[in-house]
Amino acid sequence: MTRSAHLRLTLASALTAYALVHADQQSPAPADALVFRASTELIRLDVSVTDGDGHPVADLQTGDFEVFQDGKRQPVQFADFRTGGSTSTSTRGASTSPGLAASAAPRGGAALASETAARRLVFIVDEVQMQFESVAYARKALEAIVDGGLQANDQAMIVGSRDRGATPVAFTGDGALLRQQIESIHWLADEHLRPGDDSRSFVLNVRRLGCQTPGLADDAMDPGFTYAALGEVSSVVNDLRQYPGRKAVFLLTDGFDVPCPDYQDSYNERLRRLSDLAGRSSVVIYGLHTRPFSSGVRMPEERPTSADIRGPIQVDRARVNGLVSDGLRRLAEPTGGFARRSNSPQELIAGALRDQGSYYMLAYQPPAGTFEGKKLRYRTIKVVVNRKDLHVRTRAGFYNVTDEDVLLRQ
């Protein structure tokens, strides 16, 4: 199918499923008069806007937003405020198409699919690289969330990182099944580093894999993660493309950073490609750093436990200084999510769920040539609002590759 034929087919589907306004109209038209102009190509952005106390701001209009691509201002076509995965919106601009693809609508594989009322949530517990206590607290926190922290129509999945991307996404709203998924997540002493016995450590093998040259090519969008937590995130993000609407991935981990400084740049590039794929799938990633804050000084009762079932007590800069893992930030923040740390995993999860509860869906018209060029190029995005003291989060950008081309390469 040619590109023009594909576009005509997509537009026919759009006219059947949705009502869009003439781009040159100055005010919204009645629903039965809405049409889509074939010359219009839009890019969708999910944008979180909160006040200084972290509460969502719900009264912004289309004119309150400005979008900058590669530093240049672009016209915003519309902005709809949404709650959860609901299709019920307050129209604040010239268009109300919830199916615009995350990068290059209407030319993407995820284009023109209607959103459902249910939130789709995936919780990934990085039990392979977490301390024993972190896994135990994470399980208790997830049990509390399942028992009272989810909405009635939420669809969720809870999985560990041990299968390294082998677990397909299967959502459920059944609390009993979710608790069974939590029970399947457990800490294994043999997988963790022990003093003088690193040869059989799965964690050590993971670090070696992270040191390998990823072999990134200009025409490839595969981030190359196939192991442990990042492999699971990659697998989940790809699976979530088939589901309409906005989705969320919550990664509970003790933090991760590049294991080999010699490959810092290529490792960061792999993380950026993964975050771009998440954006194309309308997936927001929340990095929940579960390692507790500590002064780094071992208490007397902790000193003899370096070789017991909990594994060695590792004291790193992030743990001592109370920082969030840099790798976790590089993964989550470019998707429009956040990376946070707390001694309470339940508080971390609850905060991320609140953040996922509402957002604005924006669409803007990109400049000509955005998706042209043989060399892979990252297009940066920045969204600002014209009101002071508000915090705005959205995806950091995208590569100059259409969704259609990404699907052909997978």
- Cα atoms in the 13 Å half-sphere on the side-chain side of 299: 3
Terminal Cα distance for the chain, rounded: 18
Q: pLDDT per residue over 13-66, tens digit each? A: 333 333 333 334 444 433 333 232 333 478 989 999 999 888 899 999 999 999
Among 208-222, 289-303, 339-353, top mean pLDDT goes to 339-353
Cβ–Cβ under 8 Å, residues 110 and 403:
yes
In terms of Cβ atoms closer than 10 Å to its own Cβ (0-12, 13-18, 19+), residue 355 is buried
Dihedral over alpha carbons 250, 179, 236, 124 (to 10 degrees): 40
Cβ–Cβ under 8 Å, residues 250 and 352:
yes
Q: Measure the CA–CA gap between 396 and 399, rounded to whole angstroms.
A: 11
Alpha helices (H) along 170-306:
175-183, 202-211, 228-239, 264-280
- Is the model more confident about 239 or about 109? 239
* Eight-state DSSP code of residue 335: B
Per-residue confidence band for 371, with pLDDT thresholds at 50, 70 and 90: confident
Range of lowest pLDDT (24-28, 87-91, 203-207, 387-391): 87-91
Kind plus residue range of the DSSP H or E element containing 147: helix 132-148
Q: Measure the CA–CA gap between 313 and 192, rounded to whole angstroms.
A: 11
Tokens 């950008």 locate to 397
User: Which residues contact residue 17 at a Cβ distance below 8 angstroms, ignoring those fewer than 6 apart?
Assistant: 99, 112, 114
Alpha helices (H) along 284-365:
317-321, 326-332, 345-356
Q: pLDDT per residue over 331-346, tens digit each? A: 999 999 999 998 889 9
For residue 69, pLDDT over 80 is answered with: yes
pTM of the model: 0.76
Amino acid 407: pLDDT: 58
Q: Measure the CA–CA gap between 381 and 105, rounded to whole angstroms.
A: 16
Q: Measure the CA–CA gap between 393 and 201, rounded to whole angstroms.
A: 38
Amino acid 258: pLDDT: 65
Q: pLDDT per residue over 144-170, tens digit each? A: 999 998 988 899 999 998 765 566 888
- Is the model more confident about 219 or about 264? 264
In terms of Cβ atoms closer than 10 Å to its own Cβ (0-12, 13-18, 19+), residue 88 is exposed
Amino acid 327: pLDDT: 86
Cβ–Cβ under 8 Å, residues 275 and 396:
yes
Structural domains of the chain in order of their starting residue, each with its CATH number:
39-117+362-409 (no CATH), 120-356 (3.40.50.410)
